Each structure stands twice: as structure tokens, then as C-alpha cells.
Chains A and B, each alone.
Chain A
């Protein structure tokens, strides 16, 4: 018989209000994937749990198995990123990262790589010289670890190495098409300019976020790359990532004050 309670490290990805004072919390764990559990009474202050289940926080928690949802019995914050917490664009990107992790995370199976990736990106968002680029890198890496890596070095139909030039990315086939194969493919084609393809490949080839560098990218190119990745992800997870919209607004709001968010 399995034990009735468990303990784990986790990242608080999402929260939904439940009744008057409770919340359902979605937590990413290394060994059990995404756990959805009820935190009772957390909207009242001075509960044992209160304050230890805030979004984007890394926690150590204990929960008991329930019939429908598990119930959180203990939680302690291990890390909360003050740099991110006090900067709207970075905080909104952190929320986007959490929502993305939530949509990709499996329930009930091991997800060490996804856990490690999400943790490292949340940690790096504070000091990152280009938080926008880091977020795009996270998108690329989460596609990799979840088995949806788009093929953008060779043609996805004929496997011929892609020559420089503009390309078509075929959503259904999961990769780029060479000029000869443009009429083929499964459908849902996105135009990718040569410069955008260069950025996408740079993201895909960079295995560590501290090797991303600080390339100078025009706003229109950033918009193109962001649009391509977001359409690709939407196709894979079959739903909208809701926080993307607010993230763009938060970044734009900050634009004048903060040159690295000049967009």
C-alpha cells in the first residue's frame, strides 16, 4: 500500500480560487510531474500555508492523497526571486514561463528535465541581460524536453540541408520545408524570414542559457520570432497561453523607462 502522504520540492505554477478561502495550486515536481492540490484557508492570513504558495515560488511541501485532489498539509518557501518580484516585465515573463511549464508538464510522471529547466530559467530571469531572449530560449528548450523540437536545420520532408534564404515552417510536419518541398507538408505553414531562422537556430543550438549572448535584434525581428514560436507552441499544446498577452503589455509599458525593454 502506498503511503497516504508525500513530500517534495516544487515550483508553484498556477492557482485557482476555490470557494471562499481555499485555492487549487498547480505545482511542478521533479518526480511526479504536475501535482494539483488544494491549499485550505490560504486566502486568510497567518495560516501555516499562507504566503508559502505564491506563484513562481520554489517550495518544499507535503500533501496527502485525496479522492479527487490532493490536500497540501505543509509548505515552506525555499526561494523567491526578489529581483523578479519587483520588476513588472520580468515578473510577467516569470508568470508566462510558469503557465508554459504548466501546459507542458505531465501529470503523475517523472519530469526532472522540465523541473530543472523551469527552475533555472526562473532563477536567471532576474539578472538576465535580455529577458526576452531568455524566454524565447525557454520556449525552444521546453519543446526539446517535451519531444516537440521543430526540425529547422534540414528539410522536414526530404532531409536536404536547408540553404540560406526565407523558409516555410510546417506546423503539422514539425519543421521547415526546402523550396522544392513547399507544396508538400501537412498544413499550417508559417513564413520564416532568413533572419528569424538564424535566431531560431541560435536558440536551438544554445544548450545553456548563459551562452545566449546579447545579440542586437530589431523590434520587428523580435516580433517575428515571438510570433513564430507562439504559433508553434499553440499548435503543440492546442490552447492559448493566456499570460502572453499581458506579458507583451507589461513589457511595452516599461519600454520608455528601461532600455533593455525598448520595444
Chain B
């Protein structure tokens, strides 16, 4: 398949290529973005480039909750107004954003960076489960909310973690079953997710 790109200068071809590697961006969108940038004032292009580099240079992972952050510990972990007696366990950093948008939860988080996926070779050791356990031993909490995705792998992850923390005598809850089964948490709408987290049940 030939596209107009083949006649384009090398820097344009390169940028189209890089854009196409991003999630949700096909070749057409990549071209449109590239040609938009060509017409953009140089200053704004520099701002954009610096923002991209800044993300890589200044954003890291919180050493307590493993959320993405600029400061370590992150703003949530170091906010004294947050309820320190609750930890909500989620699969991805995007899930934290989704839960924060609901304004229904004021506790802390723990980001696993994935779910147990036995067939794809992702086991408990590939996730931030062990740091969760040491965190709970050092700073005992009253409640753990297992907000992994409502699908088989999310359920398996929740049950596995539940089995590990059961001896610690912490109350373990799971968001209410209002969540659409099979979908990822990060895509759930605010009111549904808010209701699910408020109506969480013993696990």
C-alpha cells in the first residue's frame, strides 16, 4: 500500500512512524498530527517536546503505593487529610485517576501494575504484591479494598491477595457488583464506579 508519506521528507516520515506506535493512533491520525505540527509555531512545538521529555525525566513511581508521581512519596501518600486506615488495591495507575474522579474515596492506594494472568505467564511475583504485604505489616490498616477488574483474572488476583492478607486480620472488601463485568475499571463512568466503591462488600 502506498501513502503520500512516501513522498515526504525524512523527518516527517519519522514522526508519522513514531505517532503510529502510540495506542489508539492509526496511520491516518499519525499523518494528520504530523502535518498539524509542521504548521505549529516553533515555540509551541518546543513546549510539546519538553513536556514529553519532562514526563520521562521527572515522573517516577511512588515507592509506597507505586502510583506514577513527580514527588516521592506521591501527593496522595503524603496528604495528611487522606484516610490512612484504608488502602485500595488497583491494577493500573489509570484506575487511581478513575477512582479519584468519583470523589467517593478518601483513602490510600496500591497500584499492582497488572493482574495475575497465568496463561500469559504473569504470576504474583510480576506484580507489586510483595511490597503490598510489607507495607501492611509496617503500617497496619483497617480495610483493604480489592478493586481489581471485574473479570476472571481480576477475580483471581483479588482472591490470591485475599489469601495472603487473611492472616493479618484486616477487613477485606471488594467494590459492589454494579461494575460492568468484563470491562476495565479505568473505563467505567464516574457514577457507576462511585456507587461501586461506596457499596463495597466483605470479600
* 1/0 contact string of B89-126 vs chain A (CB within 8 Å): 00000000000000000000000000010111101100
A52 to B159, CA, bound (A): 21
* Known contacts A245-B123, A246-B118, A249-B123; A45 and B151 CB within 8 A of each other: no
Q: Does B23 contact A (CB under 8 A)?
A: yes
Q: Does B188 contact A (CB under 8 A)?
A: yes
> Could you say which of A50, A86, A99 has the most chain B C-beta atoms within 10 Å of its C-beta?
A50
* Known contacts A56-B152, A249-B124; A95 and B118 CB within 8 A of each other: yes
> Could you say which of B118, B153, B160 has the most chain A C-beta atoms within 10 Å of its C-beta?
B118
Interface contacts (Cβ under 8 Å), in number, total 94
Q: Which residues of A contact B181 (CB under 8 A)?
A: 50-51, 54
Q: From residue B21, how far is it (CB to closest CB) to chain A in Å?
A: 11
Q: B151 — nearest CB in chain A belongs to which residue?
A: A54
A117 to B61, CA, bound (A): 46
Q: Which residues of B contact A87 (CB under 8 A)?
A: 159
Q: From residue A76, how far is it (CB to closest CB) to chain B in Å?
A: 12
Q: Does B163 contact A (CB under 8 A)?
A: yes
* Known contacts A19-B24, A20-B23; A50 and B119 CB within 8 A of each other: no
A95 near B156: Cβ-Cβ < 8 Å: yes
A185 to B116, CA, bound (A): 40
A46 to B188, CA, bound (A): 9
Q: Which residues of B contact A78 (CB under 8 A)?
A: none
Q: From residue A199, how far is it (CB to closest CB) to chain B in Å?
A: 25
B160 near A88: Cβ-Cβ < 8 Å: yes
Q: Which residues of A contact B187 (CB under 8 A)?
A: 21, 43-45
User: Residue A242 contacts which of B118, B155, B179, B188 (CB distance < 8 angstroms)?
Assistant: B118
A162 to B23, CA, bound (A): 60
* Known contacts A51-B181, A54-B151; A243 and B118 CB within 8 A of each other: yes
Q: Does B27 contact A (CB under 8 A)?
A: no
A50 to B179, CA, bound (A): 11
Q: Which residues of B contact A55 (CB under 8 A)?
A: 151-153
Q: Does A53 contact B (CB under 8 A)?
A: yes
A160 to B184, CA, bound (A): 58
* Known contacts A54-B182, A55-B153; A14 and B119 CB within 8 A of each other: yes
A55 to B19, CA, bound (A): 33
Q: Which residues of B contact A99 (CB under 8 A)?
A: 118-119
B23 near A46: Cβ-Cβ < 8 Å: no
Interface size class of A (residues with CB under 8 A): 35 or more
> Could you say which of A46, A53, A247 has the most chain B C-beta atoms within 10 Å of its C-beta?
A46
Interface residues of B in 143-202 (CB under 8 A from A): 151-153, 155-156, 159-160, 163-164, 166, 179-184, 187-189, 192
Q: A240 — nearest CB in chain B belongs to which residue?
A: B121
A91 near B159: Cβ-Cβ < 8 Å: yes
A43 near B184: Cβ-Cβ < 8 Å: yes
Q: A55 — nearest CB in chain B belongs to which residue?
A: B152
Q: B187 — nearest CB in chain A belongs to which residue?
A: A44
Q: Does A250 contact B (CB under 8 A)?
A: yes
Q: From residue B127, how far is it (CB to closest CB) to chain A in Å?
A: 12
Q: From residue A51, how far is it (CB to closest CB) to chain B in Å?
A: 3
Q: A253 — nearest CB in chain B belongs to which residue?
A: B163
Q: From residue A86, how far is it (CB to closest CB) to chain B in Å?
A: 8
Q: Which residues of B contact A232 (CB under 8 A)?
A: none
A254 near B163: Cβ-Cβ < 8 Å: yes
Interface residues of A in 240-263 (CB under 8 A from B): 242-243, 245-247, 249-250, 253-254, 257
Question: What are some 8 contacts across the A-B interface (CB < 8 A)?
Answer: A19-B23, A44-B184, A45-B179, A55-B152, A92-B118, A92-B156, A95-B118, A249-B124
The 10 closest A-B pairs by CB, nearest first: A45-B183, A51-B182, A45-B180, A243-B118, A51-B181, A246-B118, A88-B159, A55-B152, A20-B23, A44-B187
Please give 16 more A-B residue pairs, beta carbons under 8 A apart, in addition to A95-B118, A253-B164: A16-B120, A19-B24, A52-B182, A55-B153, A85-B152, A88-B159, A88-B160, A91-B152, A92-B118, A99-B119, A102-B119, A242-B121, A245-B123, A247-B118, A249-B124, A250-B156
